[in-house]
Amino acid sequence: MSEALRLGCVGLGNIGGPMAARLAGSAPTTVFDLSPDAVATLVDAGAVAVDGLPELASASDLVSICVRDDAQVREVIGELRPHLAPGSLIAIHSTIAPETAAEQAAACAADGIVVLDAPISGGAPGAAEGRLAIMIGGDRAGYERARAALAPAGDLIVHAGPAAGDGTRMKLARNLLHFVSFAATAEASRLAEAAGIDIAQLGRVVRHTDAITGGAGAIMLRDTTGPIAPDDFWFGVFTHVRDLGEKDLTLALTLADRLGVDLPLGRRALTDLAAGLGVPHSAHDTRRDG
């Protein structure tokens, strides 16, 4: 049977609030936030409100922090630390610098407190549905304790690595993909708009097909980004993806040239796709470079 932890939640905003509500439905949960309305919502969900962080620390074995930035994380931990018992856990859900997580973990270790960086992905809808992805960096034993306690809030909880900061490094890589994809979406929308296509309908098609194929995550199947050996199973799979991608990118760029639309990300994608997939062209290949 997993250890029953008393939970504390600091920061009850758009994501922290629904996340805390999920936790309050499964374990004794104490909450603190500067917004009385946010606190009242959590009390209605079964949590106990306190007047300050020292009281929350004394009532908690695991404190989840979901505040805005590095400075607020440092401030909150500074107030919690003198009142947490040795063996307590702190899970930082805010997206901060990896160095901040490491710094706080080192400082708290002197008091026997384990700090995990545990950034989250899935937004407010994922928090409300208990479907967050939680990426935890730090001590493995601490991860195991936190994973069981946080399970009501996240249906995918992974150990990103043994060091505090590893969770954040994973989150930053994930968000790089997210926002570069947004920039690529803007390019695709400009091309469609210039071609007289309804971009709202295009959006429907993208959401529909990504739900089937898995979108960008569908190619994240290997444990290395290096070149793939010709006798590797994945060589044929990724060579097919490369050839299909280069064909379609070339067609899209040809259309863009005809319409006078600049697609810098599309051109970079055509240049980098093969090597990025691990199946660069050999010297005798005929490259399609737009």
- Other beta carbons within 10 angstroms of residue 74's beta carbon come to 16
Q: Would you say 119 and 171 are in contact if contact means Cβ atoms under 8 Å apart?
A: yes
CA torsion, ordered 63, 172, 162, 83, to nearest 10 deg: -20
CA dist 95 and 98 (Å) reads: 9
For 208-251, what is each residue's pLDDT tens digit?
999 999 999 999 999 999 999 999 999 999 999 999 999 999 99
* Strands, E assignment, 66-191: 89-92, 114-117, 120-121, 132-137, 154-161
For 10, list phi and psi in degrees, rounded to 5.
-120, 125
Per-chain mean pLDDT for the chain: 95
The reported pLDDT for the residue numbered 206 is 96
Average pLDDT estimate for 68-92 = 97
For 88-134, what is each residue's pLDDT tens digit?
999 999 999 999 999 999 999 999 999 999 999 999 999 999 999 99
Superfamily holding 221-290: N-(1-d-carboxylethyl)-l-norvaline Dehydrogenase; domain 2 (1.10.1040.10)
- Nearest in space to 240 (alpha carbons), one of 286, 273, 284: 273
247 classed as catalytic: no
Q: Would you say 238 and 219 are in contact if contact means Cβ atoms under 8 Å apart?
A: yes
Average pLDDT estimate for 189-204 = 97
Give first-to-last CA distance, the chain, whole Å: 60
Annotated catalytic residue within 93, 147, 159, 171:
171
The reported pLDDT for the residue numbered 112 is 98
Please state the pTM of the whole predicted model: 0.89
CATH of 7-169, one of 3.40.50.720, 3.30.2320.20, 2.60.40.10, 1.10.10.10: 3.40.50.720
Q: What is the DSSP string of 75-100?
A: HHHHHHGGGSPTT-EEEE-S---HHH
